[in-house]
């Protein structure tokens, strides 16, 4: 059977979550591998959540926020951007492929784009294969 990755997505309430809802109301189909966690702002996404997702067995983590300049809370998405870049650097150093963590800006009107991002990411992660993090951590326990 083909490998079905599990991807955890953190979406900000005002842009990206609404964009994902719009994909629904527009009946745009995308891969079922994504599991969404709603936060009010991408600025709420603590690196801890991303690392925790990986250790719990997520094969990929997607963070979506409002486009730069459009943050509902002014600048939360910039904070997210900075953390994302540091996190990518860290996970790469820890032997996790950086493609497994993705940050995208999705506005409330970009349902189609959200669906495309999900499909694309599912493809990328499928090609990478299952994440090794959970297995490695489990053998250690």
Query: Which C-beta is closer to other proteins: that of 57 or that of 124?
Result: 57
**Contact by Cβ (8 Å): 111, 26:** yes
Of 53 and 125, nearer to other proteins (C-beta) is 53
Contact 54, 133 (CB under 8 A): yes
Judged by CB under 8 A, does residue 69 bind other proteins? yes
User: Which residue among 5, 8, 60, 105 contacts other proteins (CB under 8 A)?
Assistant: 8
Q: Per CB under 8 A, which of residues 104..133 are in contact with other proteins? A: 115, 132-133
Which of 98, 87, 78 shows the shortest CA–CA distance to 48?
A: 87
CB of 3 to other proteins, least distance (A): 14
Q: Which of residues 27-66 bind other proteins (CB under 8 A)?
A: 27-30, 32, 35-41, 43-49, 51-58
Crossing angle (nearest 10°) for helices 47-55 and 76-93: 40
Nearest distance, CB of residue 18 and other proteins, angstroms: 6
Is the CB of residue 102 less than 8 Å from the CB of residue 65?
no
């Amino acid at each position: 059977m083909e490998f079905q990755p599990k991807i955890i997505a953190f979406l900000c309430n005002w842009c990206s979550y609404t964009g994902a809802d719009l994909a629904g109301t527009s009946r745009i189909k995308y891969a079922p591998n994504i599991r969404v966690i709603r936060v009010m702002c991408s600025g709420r996404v603590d690196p801890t959540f991303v690392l925790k997702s990986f250790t719990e067995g997520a094969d990929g983590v997607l963070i979506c926020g409002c486009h730069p300049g459009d943050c509902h809370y002014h600048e939360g998405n910039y904070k997210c951007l900075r953390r994302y870049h540091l996190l990518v650097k860290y996970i790469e150093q820890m032997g996790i492929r950086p493609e497994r963590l993705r940050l995208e800006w999705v506005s409330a009107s970009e349902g189609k784009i959200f669906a495309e991002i999900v499909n694309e990411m599912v493809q990328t992660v499928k090609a990478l294969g299952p994440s090794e993090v959970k297995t490695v951590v489990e053998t250690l326990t």
